[in-house]
Structure 1
Amino acid sequence: MPDRTIDFGKFGARGVKAHEAVSHQLDQLAGFITSPITTRRGLLARLHYLTRSNHARQAAHTAGLTVTDRTLKAWLQGKRNPTKKNLQRIETAYHTLRRQNVARYLLTRLNRNGQGTRVEIHPLNQSHVPRPHQRTLQHRTLNVRHWNRIIDAWTRTDTQALDNAWINDAATHLGSSWGQYDYVTTIGFAA
Structure 2
Amino acid sequence: MKLKRIILISAITVLTLPAAVLAFVKPLRVVAPLLIPEITCPLPNICTDSVAQLSNAQQLYNEGYATAATAVGPFRSVPRVVFCTTDACAESFGLGQRAAAAVGNVGLIVAPRGWKAFYLAHELIHYRQAETLGNLAVATQPKWLVEGMAYSLSGDPRHPLGPPFEQWRSQFETWHAGLGAQDIWDAARGVH
TM range (shorter): under 0.3
TM-score scaled to structure 2, two decimals? 0.22
Which protein shows a greater Rg? 1
* Bigger RCO (CA 8 Å, 6+ sep): 1
Structure with higher helix content: 2
